[in-house]
Structure 1
């Protein structure tokens, strides 16, 4: 069907384009004019007695070529202007480019045509310039809006950190990312240019009002429509063919150029008037997911009663997320599902997803589920109205306030007016959970709901999941957080390479796992190794560091007067609640966020506050592993190519040397060559976490900043990553700064611990002391609290 539509569009588009190019060559010498709107000739005559067929052959070149030229000129100027405004980190550049264009947009296009007609000399070149000038501001604004999130996102920051060329960052990444938006706009823009050309002709710009021009023919011959319809119908049909054909062709280009991405499940609707379900709420039988050359899920069967919590555990890439999406009738392109899924008494397939209001979904990447340009309060209130349409506005506000309080988020007006990008990763995760809670679904699928969360918030999540189960909601929990699994699970399903290797009651599986793979996943973390060998003299020193975030027109101080010192071969762990400033501190050290005050020194040498001002060897010496690994990769290039980039750019390695280095590091973090030669969308979240670590190590850094590097990884993979980091700092005297909410990570790696609260250091000291005998209440709560102490299984 798509191929037929594309061929149809190409054929429809070819006819007017061919007439525009070759029509004048086929036209004969103009004959004498006869009676207007007569039947002389094949298509009759027009309003002044000319042969309509001859006018059709002659009338396409002016309108099509002028419209094409004007559209191309507008894009050639508007797209670079929009890209420059979006990518510039200087506010005045954006203002200088956009404000004049905004003034142009404020003038109606017809009025602008009249003004220019009075001052510009007539002619086709003038017409091209005028039509381009009218379309240019909108193209620049659309380009800027589409490019803005790409130009300032984690992937762009990673490319700047690894000193990628402007060509890869601009046309290669941002340009590729916005091409679909520009393609969608181009068809409409071209047809608008056609009609602007016709309008301009009537004002004396370009072609004369009685010249051979399709658009002019439609307007001038409409008075004789019933006398000679061909004089209007033929040129109108050719213009319609231009519009329809161009849009069909661009639609095909949009579909073929799309990068697969996890889709968002349908939003659940109100839970009123649901029929009670007898038997299991969720029943899965022989669920299998396959691609052309790989089995992702292999014959999984499970049943879940209302009010039960099923924990699905397994190594990264074992099929957990694919299984969860299958429960919602969703599948990645190229994957085929077989088997049966029944939810609330109804079958679920890719063609028949769950009934709206049945299932809620909390994705692993919270930012992907949040609307980037809508304030969080507006979205929450909209969800509340959608699920309780009969309630008053006051009741909706109370529901939103209650849900935000349940997930430990503020409900004041200032917070509700923020955008998702102004929240920390943990706050984004809790906001997505709040969306699901407002939906009142009977099944909640939570994909790593505690990733990037501090211990106190993990306790809150555990209590909330347990409370939901007690209220009769079934929960499918995909998690590597074994503390959370032990605290809340009623059943445990263990996946290994897509197959269910163990399934049973949680108490039985946890107490006596039967399979070797299950025992490896549930094994306790290894004992803390002896202290790493390192110097006492600080390699990295941070003095008086302060930083702010822009909150609309205001500046909000995020970290205040922080002093740190870490010696070579040592590990400093920075802990604190979500939103306490940990990530901002790490970004300031890496140069990704400019500090307002203070200095960062490496081995006595002061580093520039902004990474663009740092030398390549300085960038290679201080590397940063992003918290959102998927967002930090360019979706249009292979993982191997991106991992090799730092070695080429920061160490001047040859392409072959960089490739060998990348393959070696990727193998050390457990990724095979056939996996990393694919684009990032083909890898799981855990695999991308490991690839991000390998990419940072490729420049042979002296200081490595790990922002939740092991979040979302199973215990086996996490242990391998931590062991690798520990080996590297011992053998290479690598200095580590670890941002983590995981006590086990801190206990295994850290020599020193710094505790942040509201942007300030509230506690610090040796890891052995703070892990066992912390004096500050926040330190004790963060490092000593286990979800198992805060919640019990819902159905013991």
Structure 2
């Protein structure tokens, strides 16, 4: 089958001439996905950006690309622009960042039809509506991006990207931050493109998505290609040691958390708790007790009230019914680690200054910062940087450091790993386990049932309609996959 994109010796360099990505050659074929796997900072996104001429300022590419019958020099990104939307389309990792916050869904897609395909305004609106309805978004045509779920926003971005008729789709972390159901929706959407004869390249650290897509897999580490091959061969018998370590970081391969010692003091208790947001009842009649050293998992679909429940237990959101008793009178003893690390830090403030401000304001012992940095495997030079200048995994560990300085007895970790690669995710969960082992009660929200099954001592499953199931752990045998607490 004729390849739609052929790339030869694609490399990436910074302004000093330092090589960030070793030369890589690849080709995209209609009907066969190409998946690029690797941890955060491995060079996956640099490869995709170099292929389509969208590298950040200060970076340059080398190599040749044959795209849509055009032979392009990767060092001349301006040559690619006439092909954007027409020959190649991009599905970004954060759909909300690619959608105009002031434009409704149907208008977003119609604009692409009008500007790229040249349709008249009325025809563009009509076609956009039909395409969104075909994607199951008939009821969302007039919604703004902030009114869409993650999966819905990704479908709108998909329709907008495809409006110009491009035969090649490059998706950069398309399932980042989505729950398992939404991830599977996006996978089905991408495979629909493949089934229709399109060419697909997916950059991801989501192992489940990579398995679903199949095709050819490239594994990248520290800017170099370390392994490539058929998806089944890679997942069943990886040859490279790094690939084996990456796949072993999948929660399905983790050891389960040891049982919590019995008889620990109660840290937090809720009785007949009811939680609502926006007039919608999310949790009703929930009672629970959380002891020192216990890890409680919270699972359920997006929007079911997981974060709202945690906020109510912390006292950040008032419950509409019931009571919450926090056994320790010190308010700082109850802490939260946010889902999106950048949202927890001031963007323009150096991280060291943010931590120093906390130490001063709370009258803490500043000498504890350095040993905690060492324990969390954080380099001292990170403190001189701003939040946008460190990786997501480093920022999440700094958020943990900040919480640990306050000696919490209860830590609410709200989707702490949803934006992290498998290796960094495993590291962060390991740190939470260590914290629990020292007597801190931990509540982890996750959309990954495998992670909850391996990490939590107990699990609460929310359905978003007020019901909360609090089952006892009843693991299935390992041969059936991970033990699901249901």
TM-score (norm 2): 0.85
Equivalences for residues 116-135 of structure 1 within 5 A: none
Which residue number corresponds to residue 348 of structure 2? 636
Cα gap change, 1:477/1:393 in structure 2, threshold over 3 Å: closer, same or farther? closer
What CA deviation, in whole Å up to 9, does each residue of 1:632-684 have, x standing for no partner? 3322122333345444433x125x43xx51x4444444432334432222223
Give 1:750 deviation, angstroms: 0.9
Which residue number corresponds to residue 399 of structure 1? 131
What CA deviation, in whole Å up to 9, does each residue of 1:334-359 have, x standing for no partner? 32333334433332543233413233
Give 1:575 deviation, angstroms: 1.0
Cα gap change, 1:740/1:432 in structure 2, threshold over 3 Å: closer, same or farther? farther
Give 1:729 deviation, angstroms: 0.4
User: How many positions carry a matched residue from both structures?
Assistant: 472
Which residue number corresponds to residue 360 of structure 1? 89
Equivalences for residues 349-388 of structure 1 within 5 A: 349-354=76-81, 355-357=83-85, 358-383=87-112
Check conservation: 1:426, 1:579, Cα contact below 8 A: no
Which residue number corresponds to residue 254 of structure 2? 526
Give 1:581 deviation, angstroms: 1.9
Distance in 1 of aligned mates of 2:323 and 2:154: 32
Which residue number corresponds to residue 586 of structure 1? 310
Distance in 1 of aligned mates of 2:281 and 2:427: 37
Check conservation: 2:260, 2:293, Cα contact below 8 A: yes
Check conservation: 2:107, 2:125, Cα contact below 8 A: no
CA radius of gyration, larger in:
1
| Partner SS state of residue 399, structure 1 | helix
Match of 1:747 among 453, 459, 466: 453
Which residue number corresponds to residue 505 of structure 1? 230
Which residue number corresponds to residue 573 of structure 1? 297
Which residue number corresponds to residue 275 of structure 2? 546
Distance in 1 of aligned mates of 2:66 and 2:389: 28
Cα gap change, 1:531/1:598 in structure 2, threshold over 3 Å: closer, same or farther? same
What CA deviation, in whole Å up to 9, does each residue of 1:109-139 have, x standing for no partner? xxxxxxxxxxxxxxxxxxxxxxxxxxxxxxx
Distance in 1 of aligned mates of 2:178 and 2:485: 15
Check conservation: 1:384, 1:400, Cα contact below 8 A: no
| Partner SS state of residue 129, structure 2 | helix
Return the structure number with greater helix share.
1
Question: Which ranges in structure 1 are unaligned for 5 or more consecutive residues?
Answer: 1-276, 550-554, 606-616, 774-779, 786-796
Which residue number corresponds to residue 27 of structure 2? 303
Distance in 1 of aligned mates of 2:203 and 2:217: 10
Give 1:579 deviation, angstroms: 1.8
RMSD over aligned Cα atoms: 3.3
| Partner SS state of residue 23, structure 2 | strand
Give 1:520 deviation, angstroms: 0.4
Distance in 1 of aligned mates of 2:18 and 2:245: 25
Check conservation: 1:426, 1:578, Cα contact below 8 A: no
Equivalences for residues 120-269 of structure 1 within 5 A: none
Match of 1:466 among 173, 191, 198: 191
Distance in 2 of aligned mates of 1:295 and 1:441: 31
Distance in 1 of aligned mates of 2:164 and 2:416: 32
TM-score (norm 1): 0.54
Return the structure number with greater strand share.
2
Cα gap change, 1:417/1:314 in structure 2, threshold over 3 Å: closer, same or farther? same
Check conservation: 1:455, 1:783, Cα contact below 8 A: no
Match of 2:16 among 292, 307, 314: 292
Check conservation: 1:722, 1:748, Cα contact below 8 A: no
Which residue number corresponds to residue 706 of structure 1? 413
Distance in 1 of aligned mates of 2:216 and 2:413: 33
Which residue number corresponds to residue 653 of structure 1? 364
Cα gap change, 1:515/1:393 in structure 2, threshold over 3 Å: closer, same or farther? closer
| Partner SS state of residue 201, structure 2 | strand
Which residue number corresponds to residue 315 of structure 1? 39
Q: Which moved more, 1:690-699 or 1:738-747?
A: 690-699
Give 1:730 deviation, angstroms: 0.8
Distance in 1 of aligned mates of 2:156 and 2:258: 40
1:760 and 2:466 correspond: yes
Cα gap change, 1:279/1:460 in structure 2, threshold over 3 Å: closer, same or farther? closer
Distance in 1 of aligned mates of 2:2 and 2:115: 28
| Partner SS state of residue 287, structure 1 | strand
Distance in 2 of aligned mates of 1:592 and 1:342: 54
What CA deviation, in whole Å up to 9, does each residue of 1:143-191 have, x standing for no partner? xxxxxxxxxxxxxxxxxxxxxxxxxxxxxxxxxxxxxxxxxxxxxxxxx
